[in-house]
Amino acid sequence: MLNLRMAFFYVIIPAAGIGNRMANALPKQYLPLAGKPIISHSIQVFFNHPRVTNIHVALNPDDGFWRSLTLEPASKLKLHYTGGDSRSETVLNTLQAIAPQVNDDDWILVHDAARPGLTNRLLDNLLNSLENDGVGGLLALPLADTLKQGNQDNRVNKTIPRAGLWQAQTPQMFRYATLKMALERYAGMPTDEAEAIEALGLQPKLVQGDLRNLKITYPQDLALLEALFEHEKNKGSASCA
Rounded Cα gap, residues 70 and 208, in angstroms: 37
Rounded Cα gap, residues 27 and 39, in angstroms: 10
DSSP helix/strand/coil, 109 = strand
211 contacts 151 by C-beta, under 8 angstroms? no
Residues of the chain with confidence (pLDDT) below 50: 1-2
Rounded Cα gap, residues 229 and 70, in angstroms: 29
The pLDDT of residue 22 is 55
Rounded Cα gap, residues 201 and 33, in angstroms: 39
- Cα 14–10–180 angle (5° rounding)? 65
Q: Which residues pair with 186 in a beta bridge?
A: none
Cα 12 vs. chain centroid, distance in angstroms?
8
CB-based burial, 2-40: b 16+ in 10 Å, e otherwise: eeeeebbbbbbbbbbbebeebeeeebbbbbebeeebbbb
The pLDDT of residue 233 is 84
User: DSSP assignment, residue 199?
Assistant: T
197 contacts 125 by C-beta, under 8 angstroms? no
For strands 205-208 and 136-142, give the pairing. parallel
* Ordered structural domains, the chain, with CATH: 9-144+161-240 (3.90.550.10)
Rounded Cα gap, residues 215 and 221, in angstroms: 8
Q: What is the pTM of this model?
A: 0.91
The secondary structure of 134-185 as a DSSP string is SSEEEEEEE--SPEEEE-TTS-EEEEEP-TT-EEEEEEEEEEHHHHHHHHHH
